[in-house]
Amino acid sequence: TQDDVIQQLADEVVDKRRSLLGNVLVHDADGIWTKTQYGEGDGISFGAVGDDFLTGIPDEEKEEKALVVWASQTGTAKKFAKHLYKRLGGANRCVIKSLRDVSVRGVAKHKRVYFVCSTFGMGRPPSVGELFYSLLQLEAMRCKENFEDLSEFGSDESKPLQGTSVAIAALGSSQFKHFAKFGHGLEVELKALGATMAQDVTTLDAAKGKSEQKQAFRVWEETVVTMEKERLMGWVTPRQAKRSSLVSAKALLAAKSLAS
Protein backbone atom coordinates (compact mmCIF):
# COMPACT_ATOMS: atom_id res chain seq x y z
CA THR A 1 0.00 0.00 0.00
CA GLN A 2 0.96 3.66 -0.23
CA ASP A 3 1.40 3.83 3.56
CA ASP A 4 3.79 0.87 3.47
CA VAL A 5 5.88 2.54 0.77
CA ILE A 6 6.01 5.79 2.73
CA GLN A 7 6.99 3.93 5.91
CA GLN A 8 9.73 2.09 4.05
CA LEU A 9 11.09 5.34 2.65
CA ALA A 10 10.91 6.94 6.09
CA ASP A 11 12.87 4.04 7.59
CA GLU A 12 15.51 4.42 4.90
CA VAL A 13 15.82 8.15 5.65
CA VAL A 14 16.17 7.50 9.39
CA ASP A 15 18.80 4.80 8.74
CA LYS A 16 20.71 7.26 6.56
CA ARG A 17 20.57 9.92 9.26
CA ARG A 18 21.82 7.41 11.84
CA SER A 19 24.85 6.65 9.70
CA LEU A 20 25.53 10.38 9.16
CA LEU A 21 25.32 11.00 12.91
CA GLY A 22 27.59 8.11 13.81
CA ASN A 23 24.82 5.59 14.49
CA VAL A 24 23.48 7.57 17.46
CA LEU A 25 19.80 7.56 18.40
CA VAL A 26 17.77 9.58 15.91
CA HIS A 27 14.68 11.44 17.12
CA ASP A 28 11.50 10.69 15.17
CA ALA A 29 8.87 11.23 17.85
CA ASP A 30 6.73 13.67 15.91
CA GLY A 31 7.12 12.64 12.30
CA ILE A 32 10.23 14.62 11.38
CA TRP A 33 11.10 12.03 8.76
CA THR A 34 7.89 10.05 8.58
CA LYS A 35 4.59 10.53 6.81
CA THR A 36 3.41 14.12 6.49
CA GLN A 37 0.32 15.24 4.61
CA TYR A 38 0.48 18.29 2.40
CA GLY A 39 -3.02 19.05 1.17
CA GLU A 40 -4.01 15.98 -0.79
CA GLY A 41 -0.48 14.65 -1.15
CA ASP A 42 1.86 12.79 1.15
CA GLY A 43 5.51 13.50 1.73
CA ILE A 44 8.46 13.09 4.04
CA SER A 45 9.96 16.02 5.87
CA PHE A 46 13.48 15.95 7.21
CA GLY A 47 16.18 18.47 8.00
CA ALA A 48 19.94 18.66 7.75
CA VAL A 49 22.32 17.62 10.49
CA GLY A 50 22.39 20.32 13.18
CA ASP A 51 25.30 22.07 14.90
CA ASP A 52 27.21 20.63 17.82
CA PHE A 53 25.27 20.44 21.07
CA LEU A 54 24.24 23.93 22.10
CA THR A 55 24.99 25.38 25.51
CA GLY A 56 23.30 28.27 27.27
CA ILE A 57 24.13 31.91 26.54
CA PRO A 58 24.65 34.16 29.60
CA ASP A 59 21.92 36.75 30.12
CA GLU A 60 24.37 39.63 29.78
CA GLU A 61 25.27 38.41 26.29
CA LYS A 62 21.68 38.08 25.09
CA GLU A 63 20.11 40.67 22.79
CA GLU A 64 17.64 43.04 24.46
CA LYS A 65 15.75 43.58 21.23
CA ALA A 66 12.83 41.18 20.84
CA LEU A 67 12.86 38.68 17.98
CA VAL A 68 9.60 38.37 16.02
CA VAL A 69 9.40 35.13 14.03
CA TRP A 70 6.74 34.20 11.48
CA ALA A 71 5.87 30.93 9.76
CA SER A 72 3.10 31.26 7.20
CA GLN A 73 1.67 29.16 4.39
CA THR A 74 -0.95 31.56 3.06
CA GLY A 75 0.50 34.87 4.22
CA THR A 76 -1.77 35.66 7.17
CA ALA A 77 0.76 34.87 9.91
CA LYS A 78 3.40 36.89 8.05
CA LYS A 79 1.06 39.89 7.81
CA PHE A 80 0.24 39.66 11.52
CA ALA A 81 3.93 39.40 12.44
CA LYS A 82 4.79 42.50 10.39
CA HIS A 83 2.05 44.42 12.16
CA LEU A 84 3.44 43.34 15.55
CA TYR A 85 6.94 44.36 14.45
CA LYS A 86 5.71 47.89 13.67
CA ARG A 87 3.73 48.12 16.93
CA LEU A 88 6.84 47.19 18.90
CA GLY A 89 8.82 50.04 17.37
CA GLY A 90 10.38 48.48 14.30
CA ALA A 91 14.14 48.12 13.91
CA ASN A 92 14.88 50.27 16.97
CA ARG A 93 13.21 47.80 19.31
CA CYS A 94 13.02 44.40 17.60
CA VAL A 95 14.08 42.12 14.76
CA ILE A 96 11.72 40.24 12.41
CA LYS A 97 12.58 37.03 10.55
CA SER A 98 10.96 34.14 8.72
CA LEU A 99 11.31 30.81 10.53
CA ARG A 100 13.29 29.70 7.48
CA ASP A 101 16.03 32.16 8.48
CA VAL A 102 16.11 31.31 12.20
CA SER A 103 18.28 28.78 14.02
CA VAL A 104 17.99 27.43 17.55
CA ARG A 105 21.17 29.31 18.40
CA GLY A 106 19.61 32.46 16.94
CA VAL A 107 16.61 32.11 19.25
CA ALA A 108 18.94 31.62 22.22
CA LYS A 109 20.62 34.97 21.54
CA HIS A 110 17.46 36.91 22.41
CA LYS A 111 15.87 37.47 25.81
CA ARG A 112 12.35 37.60 24.32
CA VAL A 113 11.02 35.88 21.19
CA TYR A 114 7.51 36.15 19.71
CA PHE A 115 6.34 33.44 17.30
CA VAL A 116 3.40 34.01 14.95
CA CYS A 117 2.81 30.73 13.14
CA SER A 118 0.19 28.70 11.33
CA THR A 119 -0.30 24.93 11.14
CA PHE A 120 -0.19 23.02 7.85
CA GLY A 121 -1.36 19.54 6.87
CA MET A 122 -1.41 16.98 9.67
CA GLY A 123 -0.28 19.37 12.39
CA ARG A 124 2.99 20.25 10.69
CA PRO A 125 4.66 23.66 10.37
CA PRO A 126 4.40 25.65 7.13
CA SER A 127 7.09 24.76 4.58
CA VAL A 128 9.31 27.67 5.73
CA GLY A 129 9.45 26.12 9.21
CA GLU A 130 10.07 22.44 8.46
CA LEU A 131 13.86 22.59 8.73
CA PHE A 132 13.86 24.66 11.93
CA TYR A 133 11.27 22.41 13.57
CA SER A 134 13.09 19.20 12.71
CA LEU A 135 16.36 20.58 14.10
CA LEU A 136 14.56 21.96 17.16
CA GLN A 137 13.12 18.53 17.94
CA LEU A 138 16.45 16.83 17.38
CA GLU A 139 18.18 19.37 19.62
CA ALA A 140 15.53 18.87 22.31
CA MET A 141 16.18 15.13 22.28
CA ARG A 142 19.95 15.64 22.43
CA CYS A 143 19.48 18.13 25.27
CA LYS A 144 17.38 15.65 27.26
CA GLU A 145 19.94 12.87 26.82
CA ASN A 146 22.89 15.14 27.59
CA PHE A 147 21.38 16.57 30.77
CA GLU A 148 20.36 13.15 32.00
CA ASP A 149 24.02 12.19 31.70
CA LEU A 150 25.25 15.42 33.32
CA SER A 151 22.81 15.10 36.23
CA GLU A 152 24.59 11.93 37.30
CA PHE A 153 27.69 14.05 37.94
CA GLY A 154 25.87 16.96 39.58
CA SER A 155 26.52 19.37 36.70
CA ASP A 156 24.74 22.75 36.77
CA GLU A 157 25.23 23.46 33.05
CA SER A 158 22.37 25.56 31.67
CA LYS A 159 20.08 24.47 28.86
CA PRO A 160 20.45 26.18 25.43
CA LEU A 161 17.37 28.41 25.73
CA GLN A 162 17.62 29.20 29.44
CA GLY A 163 17.07 32.92 29.93
CA THR A 164 14.94 33.20 26.80
CA SER A 165 11.24 33.88 27.21
CA VAL A 166 8.78 33.20 24.39
CA ALA A 167 5.16 33.82 23.46
CA ILE A 168 3.31 32.07 20.65
CA ALA A 169 0.33 33.08 18.55
CA ALA A 170 -0.84 29.90 16.82
CA LEU A 171 -3.06 30.33 13.76
CA GLY A 172 -5.31 27.57 12.47
CA SER A 173 -8.89 26.44 12.01
CA SER A 174 -10.89 24.43 14.53
CA GLN A 175 -12.61 22.79 11.57
CA PHE A 176 -9.55 20.57 11.30
CA LYS A 177 -8.41 17.84 13.66
CA HIS A 178 -4.91 19.24 14.17
CA PHE A 179 -6.02 22.77 15.05
CA ALA A 180 -2.99 24.95 15.90
CA LYS A 181 -0.97 21.80 16.62
CA PHE A 182 2.31 23.25 15.39
CA GLY A 183 2.08 26.17 17.84
CA HIS A 184 1.57 23.79 20.77
CA GLY A 185 4.32 21.46 19.52
CA LEU A 186 6.66 24.43 19.25
CA GLU A 187 5.95 25.28 22.89
CA VAL A 188 6.82 21.75 24.04
CA GLU A 189 10.18 21.68 22.23
CA LEU A 190 11.19 25.22 23.26
CA LYS A 191 10.42 24.48 26.91
CA ALA A 192 12.40 21.24 26.68
CA LEU A 193 15.41 23.36 25.71
CA GLY A 194 14.97 25.62 28.74
CA ALA A 195 12.85 28.48 27.37
CA THR A 196 10.12 29.91 29.58
CA MET A 197 6.68 30.97 28.40
CA ALA A 198 5.85 34.66 28.80
CA GLN A 199 2.22 33.56 28.48
CA ASP A 200 0.21 30.51 27.40
CA VAL A 201 -0.04 29.72 23.68
CA THR A 202 -2.78 31.85 22.13
CA THR A 203 -4.79 30.19 19.35
CA LEU A 204 -6.28 32.30 16.55
CA ASP A 205 -9.18 30.41 14.99
CA ALA A 206 -9.88 31.12 11.30
CA ALA A 207 -13.10 29.08 11.54
CA LYS A 208 -14.68 32.03 13.34
CA GLY A 209 -14.03 34.25 10.34
CA LYS A 210 -11.11 36.41 9.22
CA SER A 211 -12.30 39.48 11.10
CA GLU A 212 -12.66 37.52 14.35
CA GLN A 213 -9.23 35.97 13.89
CA LYS A 214 -7.74 39.41 13.24
CA GLN A 215 -9.43 40.81 16.33
CA ALA A 216 -8.11 37.92 18.44
CA PHE A 217 -4.61 38.66 17.15
CA ARG A 218 -4.93 42.35 18.01
CA VAL A 219 -5.88 41.42 21.59
CA TRP A 220 -2.80 39.19 21.81
CA GLU A 221 -0.71 41.93 20.22
CA GLU A 222 -1.80 44.48 22.83
CA THR A 223 -0.71 42.09 25.57
CA VAL A 224 2.67 41.68 23.88
CA VAL A 225 3.12 45.44 23.51
CA THR A 226 2.37 45.91 27.21
CA MET A 227 4.84 43.17 28.18
CA GLU A 228 7.54 44.76 26.04
CA LYS A 229 7.00 48.19 27.56
CA GLU A 230 7.37 46.71 31.04
CA ARG A 231 10.36 44.57 30.07
CA LEU A 232 12.27 47.37 28.36
CA MET A 233 11.45 50.07 30.90
CA GLY A 234 14.68 52.03 31.35
CA TRP A 235 16.41 50.34 28.39
CA VAL A 236 17.97 52.83 25.98
CA THR A 237 18.39 51.89 22.31
CA PRO A 238 21.82 52.40 20.69
CA ARG A 239 20.43 55.35 18.70
CA GLN A 240 19.01 56.96 21.84
CA ALA A 241 22.30 56.40 23.67
CA LYS A 242 24.23 58.08 20.85
CA ARG A 243 21.81 61.02 20.81
CA SER A 244 22.04 61.31 24.60
CA SER A 245 25.85 61.33 24.50
CA LEU A 246 25.83 64.08 21.86
CA VAL A 247 23.45 66.16 23.96
CA SER A 248 25.65 65.61 27.04
CA ALA A 249 28.76 66.60 25.09
CA LYS A 250 27.11 69.81 23.87
CA ALA A 251 25.94 70.61 27.39
CA LEU A 252 29.47 70.08 28.71
CA LEU A 253 30.94 72.40 26.08
CA ALA A 254 28.30 75.03 26.86
CA ALA A 255 29.09 74.77 30.57
CA LYS A 256 32.81 75.19 29.92
CA SER A 257 32.09 78.17 27.70
CA LEU A 258 30.06 79.86 30.44
CA ALA A 259 32.72 79.10 33.02
CA SER A 260 35.35 80.80 30.92
How do residues 105-114 score in pLDDT, each as one tens digit?
A: 999 999 999 9
Whole-number percent of the chain with pLDDT over 70:
64
Q: How far is CA 94 from the centre of its chain?
A: 14
What is the per-residue pLDDT for 144?
77
**Lowest-confidence pick of 52-61, 97-106, 241-250:** 241-250
DSSP state of 197: E
Which residues 6+ apart lie within 8 Å of 45 measured at CB?
Answer: 31, 32, 33, 36, 124, 130, 134
Residue partners of 182: CB distance under 8 A and separation at least 6: 71, 117, 118, 119, 120, 123, 124, 125, 126, 129, 133, 170, 172
Confidence of residue 239 (pLDDT cuts 50, 70, 90): low
Q: What is the pLDDT of residue 47?
A: 39
DSSP 122-175: TTBPPGGGHHHHHHHHHHHHHHHHHHHHHHTTT--PPPTTTT-EEEEEEEE-TT
pLDDT band, very low/low/confident/very high, at 40 (cuts 50, 70, 90): very low
Kindly tell me if the per-residue pLDDT of 82 is higher than 90.
yes
Band of residue 153 on the pLDDT scale cut at 50, 70, 90: very low
Pick the more confident residue, 164 or 52. 164
Residue 9: which residues within 8 A CB-CB, separation 6 or more?
A: 44
Q: What pLDDT does 103 receive?
A: 92
114-146 residue pLDDT tens:
999 999 888 889 989 988 998 888 888 877 777
Indicate the range of 84-93, 100-109, 153-162 predicted with least confidence.
153-162
pLDDT of 221 strictly over 60: yes
User: Stretch 52-76: mean pLDDT, rounded?
Assistant: 89
Contact of 118 with 76, CB cutoff 8 Å: yes
pLDDT category at 154 given cuts 50, 70, 90 is very low
- Between 203 and 10, the higher pLDDT residue: 203
Q: pTM of the entire structure?
A: 0.72
Indicate the pLDDT class of residue 189, thresholds 50, 70 and 90. Answer: very high
Average pLDDT over residues 31-40: 37
Helix-, strand-, coil-residue percentages of the chain, each rounded to 5: 50, 15, 35
Q: How confident is the model at residue 8 (pLDDT cuts 50, 70, 90)?
A: low
Higher per-residue confidence, 234 vs 55: 55
217 or 37, which is more confident: 217
Question: β-strands 196-197, 165-172: how paired?
Answer: parallel
Report whether pLDDT(37) > 50: no
Residue 236, pLDDT score: 52
| Signed CA dihedral, 173, 175, 176, 180: sign only | positive
Closest alpha carbon to 77 in 42, 31, 126, 26: 126
Task: Answer for the pair 217, 169: CB distance below 8 angstroms, yes or no.
Answer: yes
Mean pLDDT of the chain: 78
Which residues, at least 6 apart from 116, have a Cβ–Cβ distance to it below 8 Å? 68, 69, 70, 71, 72, 77, 78, 80, 81, 84, 168, 169, 171, 217
